[in-house]
Structures are given as C-alpha cells and as structure tokens.
Structure 1
Amino acid sequence: MISVKNVLIALGVALTAYLAARGLWWGSVPVPQPLVVVATLGMYLATTWLCIFWEPAAPPTEGDAAAAPTARGPSKLPAVAQGLALACAIIVPSAIAFAVGPDSRTASFATWYLGGIGALMTIVMVRRRPWTAWIGTAILAIASMVWMGAAAALALGLVGSIVWVASAQLLVRSMDRAARDTARLAQLQRAASGWQASQAVRQRERRVQVQEALAVAGPVLTRTVATGGSLSDDERLQARLAEGRLRDEMRGPRLLDEEVRAELERARRRGANVTVLDEGGLEGLDEETLAIIRAQLADALRSASSERLYIRTSPDERVAVTVVGRSPAVGAPSDEDGVDLWREIPHPRAG
C-alpha cells in the first residue's frame, strides 16, 4: 500500500544508502584502512535504518503530555536507537578521518559523513528526539572541524546538515500545531452540532407546548367571540388558565415540565396570579441538571399559598431560580402586599 509514510521511508532509505555508497567510491586513491571504512559504513547504515524502521513496542499512554500532540505523527524514537544514533555521530567522523588518512580527509569519498550524519540527525529529529538531534549535530560539527578545519567543513556540507535538522524541527512543530488545531476544530464542531441539536429539540418541544396551549385557548377564544365576551365563570377560568399556560411557554420554557405545569395550573385555579420569567442563567445546562431545578421548583409551588407568585431565573452563579410569594399583610392597607414566601433554588453546579 502506497502512503505518505511509506514514500518518506523509501526516500530516507535511498538517501542514506546513496550517502553511504559515496564512501566506497575512492577509486584508485589509496586508503590506509579500507576495512575500517567498510565497517563504519555498515554501522552507519544499520543505525540509520534502525532509526527509520524501529517503532516503540507499546503506544504512549493518554497521560503522557509529551506524546499527546503526536498521536497522528511519527512516533518517538526508542531510547536504545537514540543512544546508537549519538554513538554513530561520535564514532563515524573520527573513524573515517582516521581510515582515509590525512591526505584524503577532504576528498568526496571521505566527506560523505557530513551529509550522512546530518541525514541521521534529521531522522532523529523527525522521530521526536530534538535534544539528541542537536547534540549529534554539534558533535558532527566539532569532529569535522577538528579533522578538516572549520572552513572546509562548512564548505563541504556541514551547513546543509544543520539546515536539514533545523528544517525538520520546524516541520515537526508545524505538523503538531496543525494536529492540535484540527483536533480543536473537530471538538468545536462536535460542540456546535450538540448545541444545535439541543436547540432544535428545545424548539420542537416549545412548539409542541405552544400548540397544546393554543389548542386549549382556541375554543375559549372562539367562544368569547361568539358570545361577545359573555362567558360563564368556568369559561373565564379556562380562559385565564389558557392565557397563563401560553405566557409560561413563551417566557420560561426551560423551567417547565409536566410537574411544574401542573403546580402552576393548581395555583391559578385557586386564584393566584403567577408570573414565570426566564431571565438567563440556565444556559448550557443539560437536561439532568434542569430536572433537578424543576423538581425543587415544583416542590416550592406545591407548598405555596401566596396570592401572587413571581418565579424568575437568576444570573447569580449560586442561585438558579428565585420564587417570591406576596399576599396582603394582616392589618395593612389592601394595596400593600407582604412577602410570605421567599425560596432560592441553589444552582446544582455551584454545589
């Protein structure tokens, strides 16, 4: 199966093999220690390909903060391969410089390790070992400058190796940032979809309740028009209940369930004037939390005997709903009411 990962692995293997093959192309130039050159090349290829192909035995745990953004990218290089890469950066330059002799240290077959170790450290960087990659690059720079001089090392490939490692680090960081942004976007999209779905359900429920209220109010309105406003006491009660039910559905739908609706109707049937207002503070609550608030509201209404009831949501983070009851005070003028009920329903998430 052809994938981006497989293509990159193939390119890495081909590049390192080409760089190593340059070390064997000395032609008629005498090499004092050819076996050392061959052994060094074998060590380099084995280490490099190990760093390319070796995957960790077990995936990182979810609690590993360092591995969190890498779930979809290259895995972290195992510690053993990391150590071998550093050993390679230490041994290869000195071994090659010793094996080819002082007269050939700047020849093309003897400077292959500038690109070779640079490619190895680039692989280590991509495998998420940045400190190891930079340490290995520093070792390469020091060793090459010692054996061939600073100017020659910089001119023959050291600069390119440093650029490779730096570019790999920037690329890995960009990939991780893109992965985090993608995950964040997906999370926001899920949240938006959930919110939209909940709003659609809430609107549908509200539409159903309003339709039910209108179904009750419709016959009353028809009767009112037909009789010119001359209604019996029972019809007037039904009209008042229908009006109150309709106002409740429009002004405070998040406070309502069947139990609360039943208690509101019971209060109106005994003659109480009830006002329900949702003025914010319940946004973002799930149905389970709203059910707790509604149960406490129904309980407060069940024990209320006030002539006027005011039910309001609260923006306070500690109080979800306030229920206030007012009735004419004993011995007070008829137009002055006293507070005979004060109930604050605590916010469940403040507990």
Structure 2
Amino acid sequence: MITMPRILLVGLAAIFSAYHVVLGLYSLAVPPSPWPSVVAMALYGAATALSLAPSASIRMPLAMAAGNLGVSTVGLILVLTQLDPRVDNGYATWIIGAVGTLMTITVVRQRPWFAWGGIAIMILTVLLWSRDILELPALGVIGGPIWVGVAHATTVAIVRASRDARLFERAEQRAAEWHAQEEAEFFERRVRLGQMNRLVEPMLRRIVTSNGRLSDEDRQECLHLEAAMRDEIRGRRLLDDAVRREALAARRRGVEVTLLDDGGIDDLDRLEHARVTAVIAKEIGESTADRVVVRTAHHDEEVAVTIVGLRAAGPGEGTDPADEAQLDLWMEVPRLGDPAAAADPPRSKEPGAE
C-alpha cells in the first residue's frame, strides 16, 4: 500500500522531471532539427514514468535500471549532437539535468551502480562534446553527481535504519515470546505444585504425626503417590481429573500404570482433548491387565493416543521370555472423532480373544 510520504516524494520527482521536458520544449527552436530532441523527450518521459510507477518492491528491476542507463546515453547523443558547443545554447542542454534527475530516481530505487554509471557516461559525453572541462559547471553537469551522491547516502542510511528496525523488532518479539514462555512455565509449575500439594498433603501430615513410622499400606500408598507425581511430569496433557483418579485407583488395585506424553496431542482443541482423556480414564478404570501403558502418537498421525494392556503369563502358560507378558488390550484413540465414536471407540484385544 502506498503511503502519503511516498506519494509526496513521487509527485515531487514527477514535477521535477517534467520541468526538464518543459525546458526542452521551450528550446526546440535552438537545434537545427527539433526531432532528435523530441525523441529524447519521449524516451526520457517513458523511462521516468516507469521508474516512478508503483511496484511491489522499492528495488528497481534490473532491466529497468539498464533501460534508464540506455535512455540516458541515447538522449545525450540525440540532443548534444544537434547543438554547437561554441555558442550559448541556453535551455537546449536540458538533457544534462534530465539525466541527473533520472539517475537520482535510479539510485533511490536501490540501483546505485547503474546511477553512477549514468553519471559517468553523462560527464564523459559532455566532455567529448564541449572539449572544455571548465564548461562543466556552466552546463549544469555538477548538479547531477551531487544529487546522486546525496540520494545514495540517504538511501544507504534509510536501508540500514530499516534493517536495524527489523532486527530490533525481531529481538523484541523474541523477548516477548521468552517472557510469555516464562510466565506460562511459572503458571504451569504453580498449578502442578498446587495439584501435588492437594494430593500428597494428607500423607505428609500422616508421616509427620507418626514420626515416620508407617504401615505397609501407607508405604504402598506413598509409592502410588510418587507414581502420580511422576505422571504430572511425563503425562502432561494425557491427564485430567478423571484420568488422575482412575490411574490412582488402578494402582491401588495393583495395576502398573504408565502415562507418556511426547507432545502428540498438544494441537488438540478443548473438546477433542476432553474426548481423548475420557477414553483414557474409561479404559484404565475398566482394565483387567497387570500393566497399562498410555502413550501419545506422532502429531501428524490420525491416531492421538495408543493404550496397551499387558497381562503376566499364568502358571503353565510357558517359560519362554516372550510369553512372560501377553497382550490383553490394544486400542488406538483417533485424533478426530464424532460423539458416537467417542462413546465406544474402536478397540481390539489379543488375536483370537473373544
């Protein structure tokens, strides 16, 4: 989108460029034939209009910069070859100022080498035409290099300032992200500590009041609470109040419960996450396996969570180490589902089991 300052600058450049064309039209009677000057005006006007036209990038296309250089060279030849350097030509040498203006526009559009090349060609052409270096200031040759030099320095300063502004913006964005991450981690730690405090506070009070003399049941309960604390670290989004409650109840029944969240369900929305954790809580609560492992799948898979139930082999079921644990439950909870599927998700037990 073009802003007001850019429109103002483009307008000033257009007016200043048109001024040279007006001077050329005013002095058409000076050269023997006006048509070379008219052609030079047409080329100059077209090059200027293209250079000032709105574009997606401020940097001038390479072909346009080369075209400006060619227009400057051809315009100088067309106009100066029609003039006598030994007489006062007045405004008939308008092409010298026009080339300086076109090269200033070129350097502002971030093509400095083409701009300085055009200035060098202008100076060399005027020297060959006038054959007197002292005539350069009177012909207006000095103004072109000055304008291009000022524009070049200003453009470099603006580009550097813009680059520094982008660097500062990225640094500020990273600082804001770091601050947000720190706040999120602080909030997460506070929530986890609050949950653990509510969970283990009764047992800690019992340990204090009994001076550390605990019964076997209390010691076993401490192991269950330790596993629950480990769930908070490794289980992350696999947990909600229902999953915590069913996992603790399963451990008290003697089931070994392992919850592993590898980040595969971080992108689920609130409803889908609630559906998945409801299935996890239901299966842990109803499981008859000796060990239940719940693990998230990869984030780009259709499966959100895999639930595996293992049952120890009974007496006489074999002595092979491969038979020490038998598959009792295998379930894949889909990442996306409808309410009917959420109520009774697809499940499978070991092959051949009914």
| TM-score under structure 1 length normalisation | 0.56
Residue 338 (structure 1) aligned with residue 325 (structure 2): yes
**Aligned position for 2:276:** 296
Asked if the contact 1:114/1:144 (under 8 Å) is kept, the reply is no
Gap change, CA 1:198 and 1:147, over 3 Å in 2? closer
Which of 195, 210, 233 is the matching residue for 1:212?
195
Which of 270, 282, 303 is the matching residue for 2:263?
282
Which of 312, 315, 329 is the matching residue for 2:313?
329
CA distance in 2, matches of 1:226, 1:345: 45
Asked if the contact 2:235/2:260 (under 8 Å) is kept, the reply is yes
Which amino acid counterpart does residue 309 of structure 2 have in structure 1?
A: G
Mapping of residues 116-131 of structure 1, within 5 Å: 116-127=98-109
Between stretches 212-221 and 191-200, larger displacement belongs to 191-200
CA distance in 2, matches of 1:184, 1:136: 30
Which of 233, 240, 257 is the matching residue for 1:250?
233
State the percentage of identical aligned residues: 28
Gap change, CA 1:298 and 1:185, over 3 Å in 2? farther
Mapping of residues 1-351 of structure 1, within 5 Å: 32-33=30-31, 56=54, 67=56, 70=57, 90-91=74-75, 94-98=78-82, 100-104=83-87, 113-114=95-96, 116-127=98-109, 134=114, 141=121, 145=125, 148=128, 179=162, 182-183=165-166, 186=169, 189-190=172-173, 193-194=176-177, 196-227=179-210, 229-231=213-215, 239-278=222-261, 281-282=262-263, 286=266, 288=268, 292=272, 295-296=275-276, 298-303=278-283, 304-312=287-295, 323-331=307-315, 332=318, 337-340=324-327, 341-342=329-330
**Aligned position for 2:344:** none
Shift of 1:114: 3.8
Asked if the contact 1:93/1:113 (under 8 Å) is kept, the reply is no
1:154-176 superposed Cα distances (whole Å, 9 cap, x missing partner): x9598996898799689868866
Local SS of the residue matching 1:213: helix
Shift of 1:190: 3.2
Which amino acid counterpart does residue 103 of structure 1 have in structure 2?
A: R
CA distance in 2, matches of 1:93, 1:311: 83
Which amino acid counterpart does residue 187 of structure 2 have in structure 1?
A: R
CA distance in 2, matches of 1:166, 1:183: 26
**Aligned position for 2:348:** none
Structure 1: runs of 5+ lacking an equivalent: 24-30, 61-66
Local SS of the residue matching 2:268: helix
Local SS of the residue matching 2:257: strand
CA distance in 2, matches of 1:317, 1:150: 75
1:101-136 superposed Cα distances (whole Å, 9 cap, x missing partner): 25349x9987674454033222144246x59x9599
CA distance in 2, matches of 1:309, 1:250: 18
1:160-218 superposed Cα distances (whole Å, 9 cap, x missing partner): 96898799689868866874675476356436634642452243133223222223312
1:210-259 superposed Cα distances (whole Å, 9 cap, x missing partner): 222223312222213323534596x6776455333222223333433334
1:77-121 superposed Cα distances (whole Å, 9 cap, x missing partner): 9xxxx99998777446523542x425349x998767445403322
Gap change, CA 1:135 and 1:225, over 3 Å in 2? closer
Which amino acid counterpart does residue 122 of structure 1 have in structure 2?
A: T
Asked if the contact 1:141/1:158 (under 8 Å) is kept, the reply is no
CA distance in 2, matches of 1:190, 1:206: 24
CA distance in 1, matches of 2:299, 2:326: 21
Q: How many residues matched? A: 311
CA distance in 1, matches of 2:335, 2:250: 24
The Cα RMSD (Å) is: 6.2
Gap change, CA 1:316 and 1:164, over 3 Å in 2? same
CA distance in 2, matches of 1:186, 1:76: 26
CA distance in 1, matches of 2:146, 2:238: 64
Asked if the contact 1:93/1:140 (under 8 Å) is kept, the reply is no
Which amino acid counterpart does residue 220 of structure 1 have in structure 2?
A: M
Structure 2: runs of 5+ lacking an equivalent: 337-354
| TM-score under structure 2 length normalisation | 0.55
